[in-house]
Amino acid sequence: MPVLDGKLTKKLVENLGPGRHGDGAGLYLVVDPSGARRWIVRVTVKGQKNAKGAPLRTDFGLGGADVVTLNQARERALEYRRMAKSGLNPRFNATREVPTFEELSRQVHIDRLPTWKNPKHGQQWLNTLRDYAFPKIGRMPVDSIGQPEVLMCLSPIWTEKHETARRLAQRLKTVLDVARSRGFRDGENPVTAVKEAGVLPKVKAKVEHHEAMPWRDLPTFYAELEGRSATAAKALQFAILTACRTSEVLGMTWDEVDTDARLWTIPAARMKGGVQHRVPLTDEMLRILEAVKPLASTYVFEGQKRHRPLSNMSMLMLLRRMGRGQFTVHGFRSTFRDWAAEEAGAPREVAEAALAHQFGSDVERAYARSDLLERRRELMVSWCALVSGVDGAGDD
């Protein structure tokens, strides 16, 4: 979009597309391709020259448009222009208005949006602060927040919602670290001080276990699944056979599958650990893929909407309809792991690699260059034979 010159309005500030949009007198709204909006002012400092001897013209940031209103931006821009006109460089002479905790939090959220894998993660980051910090300290200047204010946010949920409180502490610390880096505060981060002081009670971490079906019961259940034609049933069969996560199976696309090499390659961007994972395909896995291939969608397991995957609740709801609501889809990974240890006697590193888990120390992982594909292929053939009663890894 070309540069817009002329007075801006609140509606324009909210809706203009990417580009630099002028409000006049050197004030601009800059809209990034990501949608982030910020104010800058361009001034010429009287009597000062740049390295080439030309009048010193420079840009100054005035903050994000979500926390600095149009009128506030105009007022700050006017202050900068007055200083520049009198020969003062705003970089060294402008009074810095300390933002409130909420203002800076929202700006940090905007700045970090490109670093999150998807917008949902970024929104969750901000929602935690919105729900548990903004009502208590949101309007406070960031330079006035100390240990009492941090405790005010954390104490009410520290034991009852400990995981949420732990994440809240991390996000409080991040915002206050940014405040220090921008010169709005100094000294130790109060979140760090609170943790080191030991004033919050120790909470024993609760380990959530996904209910897992005993592996000896799995062949009977799998036979029941075989009698169902729904796509969700095929997806659950495939998830059980591959021991992969729900998101990995439902996000599976046909271009990830190489039937000639009998291989499914999951890109790093779709893996929980951020590392590409190769899954060896057995006869039974290929049979299921062949059954859903006539759908000819981008996704292997297509949902009700064309070229969209199944809902992430589809397999769980199927379990409930089949009277197995006490189990979870993720639990079948535990079923596989129990079988690999108890019955197959698989080496730990092979079983863990099949689940795309990291294993061993940092040094051991540094030397583990192989993903043990062929050894995992043998293990998955045995697993599929147990589950489906069909033996075979294909012709060599």
**Average pLDDT over the chain, rounded to whole?**
85
Question: Rounded to whole angstroms, what are the CA distances from 38 to 27, 31, 313?
Answer: 11, 7, 39
The answer to whether 275 touches 286, Cβ cutoff 8 Å, is no
Q: What are the structural domains of the chain? A: 10-93 (3.30.160.390), 101-197 (1.10.150.130), 215-388 (1.10.443.10)
Only one residue has tokens 């024993």, namely 204
How does pLDDT run across 222-257, given as a tens digit for each residue? Answer: 999 999 989 999 999 999 999 999 999 999 999 999
Work out the pLDDT band at 137, boundaries 50, 70, 90: very high
How does pLDDT run across 193-214, given as a tens digit for each residue? Answer: 998 888 888 877 555 555 789 9
Q: Angle at CA 58, nearest 5°, toward 16 and 18?
A: 15
In angstroms, rounded to a whole number, what is the distance separating the alpha carbons of residues 107 and 131? 17
The answer to whether 210 touches 330, Cβ cutoff 8 Å, is yes
**pLDDT greater than 60 at residue 395:** no
How does pLDDT run across 153-174, given as a tens digit for each residue? Answer: 999 999 888 889 999 999 999 9
pLDDT for residue 284: 95
Tokens (6 digits) for 371: 């993903």
R_g over Cα of the chain: 29
φ, ψ of residue 143 in degrees (nearest 5): -80, -5
In angstroms, rounded to a whole number, what is the distance separating the alpha carbons of residues 21 and 3? 5
How does pLDDT run across 325-349, given as a tens digit for each residue? Answer: 999 999 999 999 999 988 988 898 8
Percent of the chain that is helix, strand, coil (3-state, to 5) = 50, 15, 35
**pLDDT greater than 50 at residue 396:** no
**pLDDT greater than 70 at residue 391:** no
Average confidence (pLDDT) over 26-34 = 85
The residues with which 63 forms a beta bridge, in sequence order, are 39
pLDDT for residue 1: 40
Work out the pLDDT band at 121, boundaries 50, 70, 90: confident
